[in-house]
Amino acid sequence: MISRRTLLRGAGIGALVVAVPVPALAAEGFVPNVFVRMDAAGRITATVPRPDTGQGVRTVVALMVAEELAVDPGDVALEQAHGDTERFGAQGVANSTSVRQLSTPIRTAAATARCLLVTAAAERWRVPVAECTARDGAVHHPRRGRAPYRSLVRAAAALDPATVPVELTPQDRWRLLGKTRGGRVDARAITTGRTRYGIDSRPPGGLVAVVARPPWIGAVPDTIDDAATRALPGVVDVLPLIAPAEGQGGVAVIARSTHQALRGRDALRVTWRGGTPTADSRAWLADLRAALPAQSPVDGLQRVFEMPLLAHAPMEPMNATAHVRPDGVTIWAPTQDPGSLRTQLARQLGLPASSVRVETTASGGAFGRRIEPDPVLEAVACSRRAGAPVQVLWTRADDMRNDSYRPMSVHRLSAEIGPDGLPIRRAHEVVTWPLTVLPIFSNPALIKASGDHFPYSVPGDVTVAVRPAPLRTGFWRSVYAGQFVYAEENFLSEIGRRSGLDQVALRRSLLPAGSRLHQVLDKVAERARWSRPPAPGTARGVACLEEYGSAIAVIAVAEPSSRRVLRVHAAVDVGVALHPSGVRAQVEGCVVDALSTVLGAQITVREGQVAQSSFGDYRWARIGQTPDVDVTIVPSTAPLGGLGELAYPPAAAAIAAAISGDTPVTGMPFGADVG
Amino acid sequence: MARYLLRVNGERHEVDVEGDTPLLWVLRDELGLTGVKYGCGVGLCGACTSHVDGQAARPCVRTAADGAKTPITTIEGLSRDGNHPVQRAWRELDVAQCGYCQPGQVMAAAALLARDPDPDDAAIEEALRDNVCRCGTYPRIRAAVRRASRIMREER
């Protein structure tokens, strides 16, 4: 029986509309999300409540709806939800939850629509419901024949949903979900250049703004001479921005075209005050090191790991478009969280939420950066001043130098080694910074909860000390797990190497028999032919992680002399892989992040400024450095798990262990000065 | 401001811009060809890769004045129906994640295959070396270029 909270509307207009609340918000009362709708002509539209930042949620929504309604994915039109948490529930792409939290409500909504259509057909034909089946956009009966959905919509919408039992299509009867064929629903638009990202939003009469940003961290404009700028063609206005986000300020140049805005910015003469013009990330690292307690609680082998600043650097630089009118505001943004953005804007602008419209565009990557609203706040300020729609565009250097970076951290790992070479007691002492974009992330317990997923049966403590962050820090794929797991797995690898133990056998012996990690570790060892010795000149690294409701083991094979990674194998247990190609894609993406950050990408600060400005010096991996990635999806009876961030921490650890050969890993990037 | 006559995707367009305007912004802002993506503006990331006189080129480091000299093809003009072998191979192998860099990747691959119909991995990696994909779709890109090469061979 469907929940009382399921909403049906549209009987009066001959359309079928089914909505089911998102569980995360169900406790707060009824949440009428419009998820699935069928019009009088039988056309199906599904709402995608969360943004697609490349993780593929639009594809999974289309597959779920098509599966339950027994149609092709191409028969499901997708509508990207605007920001509205009352209608759509939580809309943030965070903590690898998109598919996990949407799967039940969306499948239930579509299954409800199917069951109502089947019931309507059975009533019309005066046959038992059990004799009717839905297939290919119609209800079928062995003797009565076939009734297309469109002929049933009106009758189905008139039924009382509380009287119709709803069953989800069981997994063993899936035609689409869990199958290897079938790619991204937006693939044609992407490969023909028709996908509209935030940067492609240009409402009629729209202007463009670029912002002169601080030449060192925390500086604000002191004097502004904009005479030369205002004399340039196309320049409409110049506007000081007072710290739209913490630690940020600047001078916006609003112009008719992007090039005119960029030229206008070049012509500005601004002096700056405040901030930290001498800041240096090497000194920050020394401060973190100095904050380690004098003595570790465990005597034995000890190693200190240093982790760098990292930037998000999505391919689509930060941007947002706003149109502020007397009666409200419309935003077009590649945001990771349109619902919270709308709530925050309404509060900040003193408007009712109904006067704030946030249109979610496609997003050219996000990786945690687009949870934050700073480009949107800049666009609002510019549009209010200009009285027209304004797109604020960050250049690549703006993006790289004004990010919310992954925090630096220092990790001291200690282990007492038993007579058999295995660790018998351990300590992991962490000193790091909070995430300044979310104040609760200054709580050491929360940082520990984010980072600490040590799965091996070695007793010991993890302690976290938090130092004030000297620049803006934020959520970066896997959050603190990226640093913690890298240190822990590399330390375990060093213990194994010193004790002459097999790295897979060592981990197996420390994992509970029959556990999910045990299974994925066995599978990846088989895929990587672990039992055979590595080829001459090559070395291997292994690492595991259970988090987000999923489990993964990774083996990397590399040539230490050239630091070339030859192959990466991963075995994942995600419970149910709804879109296997998408599952593999997320693992492949995490592996490239891992490769990039282990081989050389890091952010450094010199003389108060981030030294890197583009992909020339923030050394993200290129195609020639990237090996093939072999991903095995392990059959599982576990509930649906999350995946977007799972593979990054163990892939980074396994790659570092492989390229390091016999050299102990002491930080990231491998073999580089950190900071 | 000055007038320039551009030949883009087989059509003639007259634009009125400053001569030093990067071709990227002419294509995007003046002609509405937003499939040409801004990623870095300095020729380092390849997101705007298009064809100039049949060769892969970076409109972000060329000017409107340069652009007036030779015919230009953007992702929007690569094929009439979106079914260039490279576009089909990209869909078959489900290459894209966020998709933002993919128009540039597709254009770089199409230019490579036009001059070298059967590239080995080294040639693929050389041709696409400076096309950054932040989602990490490189293994699928490599496989899709090989697949596109096979499609072209089969259909010749």
Q: Kindly report, residue by residue over B73-128, the tens digit of the pLDDT.
A: 999 999 999 999 999 999 999 999 999 999 999 999 999 999 999 999 999 999 99
Taking an 8 Å cut-off on Cβ atoms, the answer to whether B96 and A190 are in contact is yes
The total number of residues written for chain B in this structure: 156
Q: Are residues B69 and B89 in the same domain?
A: no
Closest to A97 in 3D by CA, of A370, A337, A333: A337
Distances (CA, A) of B146 to A187, B89, B129, B135: 18, 9, 16, 20
Closest Cα of chain A to B77: distance in Å? 8
ipTM for the complex shown: 0.98
Percent over 90 (pLDDT), chain A: 86
Distance from CA of A172 to the nearest CA of B (A): 25
State the pLDDT at residue A157: 84
> B47 and B92 in one domain?
no
CATH of the domain at B14: 3.10.20.30
Distance CA A52, CA A35 (A): 16
Report how far residue A507's alpha carbon sits from residue A345's, in angstroms, rounded to the nearest whole number: 49
CATH class entry, domain A198-275+318-393: alpha beta
Distant-in-sequence, close-in-space partners of A173: CB < 8 Å, separation ≥ 6: none
Instruction: Tell me the C-alpha distance between A675 and B19, whole Å.
Output: 42
Give Rg (Cα) of chain B: 15
Q: Do A190 and B41 touch (CB under 8 A)?
A: no
Residue A330 amino acid letter: T
Lowest mean pLDDT, pick from A70-74, A101-105, A242-246: A242-246
pLDDT for A26 equals 34
**Dihedral of alpha carbons A90, A96, A101, A102, sign:** positive
- Express as a percent the part of chain A with pLDDT over 70: 94
When pLDDT is cut at 50, 70 and 90, the band that residue A247 belongs to is: low
The answer to whether A316 contacts B39, with C-beta atoms less than 8 Å apart, is yes
Structurally, at CATH architecture level, domain A7-179 sits in 2-Layer Sandwich (3.30)
The residue range of the domain holding B15 is 2-77
Interface test with A, best of B15, B97, B133 (most A CBs within 10 A): B97
Question: What is the nearest CA distance from B95 to chain A, expressed in angstroms?
Answer: 8
Average pLDDT value for residue range A298-320: 98
How many other C-beta atoms lie within 10 A of the C-beta of residue A97? Answer: 17
Min distance A402 CA to chain B CA atoms (Å) = 15
pLDDT for the residue numbered A128: 98
Give the model's pLDDT for residue A179: 92
- Model confidence at A73, pLDDT cuts 50, 70, 90, reads very high
**Position A537 pLDDT exceeds 80:** yes
The domain spanning residue B138 has which CATH number? 1.10.150.120
Residues 415-474 (A) with a CB less than 8 A from some CB of B: none
Could you tell me if A192 lies within 8 Å of chain B, comparing CB atoms? yes
Chain-centre distance of CA A396, in angstroms?
20
Closest residue, chain B, to A318 (C-alpha) = B39
Q: What is the pLDDT of residue A87?
A: 83
* CB nearest to B40's CB, from A195, A396, A628: A396
**Cβ atoms of A546 and A645 closer than 8 Å:** no
DSSP β-bridge partners for residue B52: B55, B72
How sure is the predictor about A39, in pLDDT bands with cuts at 50, 70 and 90?
Answer: confident
Asked which of A84-88, A143-147, A321-325, A367-371 is least confident by mean pLDDT, the reply is A84-88
Chain B residues closer than 8 Å to A365 by CB = 97-98, 100, 134-135
Cβ under 8 Å to B: A residues 559-598: 581-582, 585, 588-593
Nearest CA in chain B to A200: B34
Locate CATH 3.30.365.10 in chain A. Answer: 7-179, 198-275+318-393, 409-660
Distance (Å) from the alpha carbon of B98 to chain A's nearest alpha carbon: 3
Q: Which residue of B has its CA nearest to A631?
A: B139
> Of B60, B77, B94, which marks where a domain is finished?
B77
Which helix (H) or strand (E) covers residue A40, if one does?
none
Beta-bridge mates of residue A463: A429
CA A347/CA A45 separation, integer angstroms: 32
Q: Name the pLDDT band for A551 (thresholds 50, 70, 90).
A: very high
Whether A626 contacts chain B with CB within 8 A: yes
**pLDDT score recorded for residue A15:** 66
Question: Which of the 8 DSSP states describes residue A296?
Answer: -
pLDDT of residue A228: 98
A181 contacts in chain B (CB < 8 Å) = none
For residue A534, say if its preceding peptide bond is cis, omega within 30 degrees of 0.
Answer: no
Tell me the average pLDDT of chain A: 93
Q: Is the pLDDT of residue A277 over 70?
A: yes
- Identify the band that residue A89 occupies on the pLDDT scale cut at 50, 70 and 90: confident
Q: Are residues B72 and B6 in the same domain?
A: yes
Q: Mind listing the pLDDT tens digit for each residue in A514-536?
A: 999 999 999 999 999 999 999 99
Same domain flag for B63 and B98: no
Q: Which residues of A touch B131 (CB under 8 A)?
A: 623
Closest CA to A243 of A218, A280, A264, A216: A218
The DSSP element (H or E) to which A90 belongs, if any, is: none
- Any CB–CB contact under 8 A between A233 and chain B? yes
Contact flag A396-B136 (C-beta cutoff 8 Å): no
CA dihedral A240, A245, A248, A250 (to 10 degrees): -20
Contact between A203 and A255 under an 8 Å Cβ cutoff? The reply is: no
Q: Which of A52, A620, A623 sits opposite B142 (nearest CB)?
A: A623
**With an 8 Å Cβ cutoff, is A73 touching chain B?**
no
Residue-by-residue DSSP string for A609-646: EES--STTTS----GGGPPEEEEEE----SPP---TTT
Q: Are strands A550-559 and A609-610 parallel, antiparallel or unpaired?
A: unpaired
Contact B36 A627 (CB under 8 A): no
Min distance A86 CA to chain B CA atoms (Å): 27
Domain count, chain B: 2
Q: Find chain A residues with C-beta within 8 A of B100's C-beta.
A: 197, 314-316, 364-365
Of A316, A585, A624, the CB nearest to B100: A316
On the question of pLDDT at A9 being above 70, the answer is no
Instruction: Indicate the helix (H) or strand (E) that contains A195.
Output: none
DSSP-derived letter for residue A325 is E
d(CA A153, CA A137): 12
Is the minimum CB–CB distance between A649 and chain B shorter than 8 Å?
A: no
Strand B55-57 with B11-17, pairing: unpaired
- Phi first, then psi: what are they for A383, rounded to 5°? -70, -40
What CATH class is the domain A409-660? alpha beta
Better-predicted residue by pLDDT, B3 or A87 = B3
CB A87 within 8 A of CB A31: yes
Question: How sure is the predictor about A20, in pLDDT bands with cuts at 50, 70 and 90?
Answer: low
Give the pLDDT confidence score for residue A25 in this predicted structure.
36
The residue among B14, B97, B82, B27 whose CA lies nearest residue B57 is B27
What's the burial of A488, exposed, middle or buried (CB within 10 Å: 0-12/13-18/19+)?
Answer: buried
Chain B contact set for A628 (CB, 8 A): 139, 142
Query: Which backbone phi and psi does A258 adopt, to 5 degrees?
Result: -60, -45
Of B46, B77, B108, the residue at which a domain comes to its end is B77
pLDDT at A439 over 60: yes
- From chain B, the residues in CB contact with A183 under 8 A are 91-94
**B87 vs A620: CB contact, 8 Å cut-off?**
no
Q: In angstroms, rounded to a whole number, what is the distance separating the alpha carbons of residues A375 and A112?
A: 40
What pLDDT is stored for residue A246 in this prediction? Answer: 55
Q: What is the pLDDT of residues A586-602, one digit of tens each?
A: 999 999 999 999 999 99
Which 335-364 residues of chain A touch chain B by CB within 8 A? 362-364
Which one of A232, A363, A596, A623 makes the best mutation probe of the B interface by having the most chain B beta carbons within 10 Å?
A623
List the one residue out of A370, A393, A389 whose CA is nearest residue A380: A389
- As a whole number, mean pLDDT of residues B2-7 equals 96
- State which H helix or E strand residue A525 sits in: helix A516-527
Residues B67 and B21 both lie in one domain: yes
Query: Is A263 within 8 Å of B124 when comparing Cβ atoms?
Result: no
H runs (alpha helix) in A40-134: 57-69, 85-88, 98-125
Q: Is the CB of A589 less than 8 angstroms away from the CB of B1?
A: no
Is B24's pLDDT higher than 50?
A: yes
Residues B27 and B65 in one domain: yes
Confidence check: pLDDT of A27 > 50: no
| B-chain residue closest to A592, CA distance | B136
Both B94 and B36 in one domain: the answer is: no
CA–CA gap between residue B28 and residue A300 (Å, rounded):
61
Q: Which residues of chain B lie closer than 8 angstroms to A54, CB-CB?
A: 97-99, 135
Residues A232, A597: Cα–Cα separation, whole Å = 42
Backbone angles phi, psi at A582, to 5 degrees: -70, -35
Strands (DSSP E) contained in A198-288 are 207-212, 220-225, 235-241, 250-255, 269-273
Q: With an 8 Å Cβ cutoff, are B102 and A581 in contact?
A: no
**Which residues of A fall within a CB distance of 8 Å from B101?**
315, 364
Q: Which of A185, A186, A191 to mutate to test the interface with B (most CBs of B within 10 A)?
A: A191
Task: Kindly state the average pLDDT of the residues A358-382.
Answer: 96
Q: What is the mean pLDDT of residues A500-518?
A: 97
> Structure tokens of A16?
């079928």
Q: What is the mean pLDDT of chain B?
A: 97
Q: Domain ends where: B77, B110, B135?
A: B77
pLDDT tens track for A248-262? 789 999 999 999 999
The residue whose two tokens read 């009362």 is A29
Contact A182, A176 (CB under 8 A): yes
Q: What is the pLDDT of residue A6?
A: 52
Closest CA to A274 of A334, A347, A221, A320: A221
Nearest-by-Cβ selection for B136 from A56, A317, A593: A593
Q: Residue A5: what pLDDT?
A: 45
